[in-house]
Amino acid sequence: MDNGAPWGDTTGSWTALELWLMRQGIRVGHSRPYHPQTQGKLERFHRSLKAELLQGRWFTHAAQLQEVFDAWLETYNLERPHEALSMAVPASRYQPSSRQYNGNPAAAEYDEGSWSGKWMSVEN
């Protein structure tokens, strides 16, 4: 996960997103700080999104942006071949999770006197 807001917190506290993910049973890990190459696939997705959908365009309301984004995402996932996938489309590689989605996970419970902290490994 990226270290910028809202994904990371420099105070050592868990963010609302991290807590929600953990309640879903998802292990949260962060990328190396100040090293965008760690998130190369995501950075490439953002580059495509900006170049193909956002650059030079203005949207007057969120519904308009959502409509354009949905159409772009369908092309991106179902029609456009990706070099990193040997020219296959992402939908051909998608495997749904076998885990059940919980839309309302229980709040974390801690024993009195217990401590929970957040740690991050930083390499030079």
What's the pLDDT tens digit per position in 21-60? 888 888 888 888 777 788 888 888 889 999 999 888 988 8
Bridge partners for 82 per DSSP: 88
Residue 83 included in any domain: yes
Residue 122 included in any domain: no
Residue 68 included in any domain: yes
Structural domain total, the chain: 1
Residue 46 included in any domain: yes
Residue 45 included in any domain: yes
How much is the pTM?
0.60
Determine the average pLDDT of the residues in 66-79.
95
Count CB atoms within 10 A of the CB of residue 92: 11
User: Which structural domain, as residue segments, surrounds residue 48?
Assistant: 31-92
Residue 50 included in any domain: yes
